[in-house]
Amino acid sequence: MKYRFNGKEKRMAFGVYPAVSLAQARALRDEAKKKLAEGIDPSFAKKEEKLVRDVQLNNTFQAVARQRRQRRFASVVVKSFATLSFKLIVPKERYRICVNTFTYVIFLITPSLYYIDIKLNTYISVGR
């Protein structure tokens, strides 16, 4: 769709033909025209909606726990290789087993909860 916003010509795509039918493309075009009539840039609104969706997906407990585990495990591996000590290799394996077990149990109970919505009672009930 070709349109003008604040005196600048812009284009907006709605998808490739087999994936998006003609009726769907027309409906999306009509929504974009409504936003344009309200004074909202449709391409900016589309990017903003995508950003909100990505933030919501990355703020689940699973996503945050995986990121944290990757960072923590990487630091444990770096420490063990930096000192070249065999004493750190055993705790590293023990740490990995504990974390994997904990995340497996927690992920079964809280599959898609947002990180902010999880309370202490959730962890206590899992521990029992």
Instruction: Give per-residue pLDDT as tens, 4-55.
Output: 998 999 999 998 998 999 999 999 999 999 999 999 999 999 988 888 887 7
Q: Domain span at residue 104?
A: 60-127
Domains identified in the chain, total number: 2
Q: Where are the alpha helices (DSSP H) in 84-115?
A: 89-109
Helix (H, G, I), strand (E, B) or coil at 60: strand
| pLDDT computed for residue 100 by the predictor | 72
On whether both 35 and 89 belong to a single domain, the answer is no
Of 57, 75, 94, which residue is a domain's last? 57
Structure tokens of 73?
């495990």
What tokens were used for 39?
Answer: 């004074």
| 49/81 same-domain check | no
Higher pLDDT: 2 or 98? It is 2
Residues 65 and 53 in one domain: no
- Bridge partners of residue 59, in order along the sequence: none
Query: pTM higher than 0.75, yes or no?
Result: no
Query: What three-state secondary structure class fits 91?
Result: helix
One domain for residues 76 and 36:
no
> Which is higher by pLDDT, 21 or 124?
21
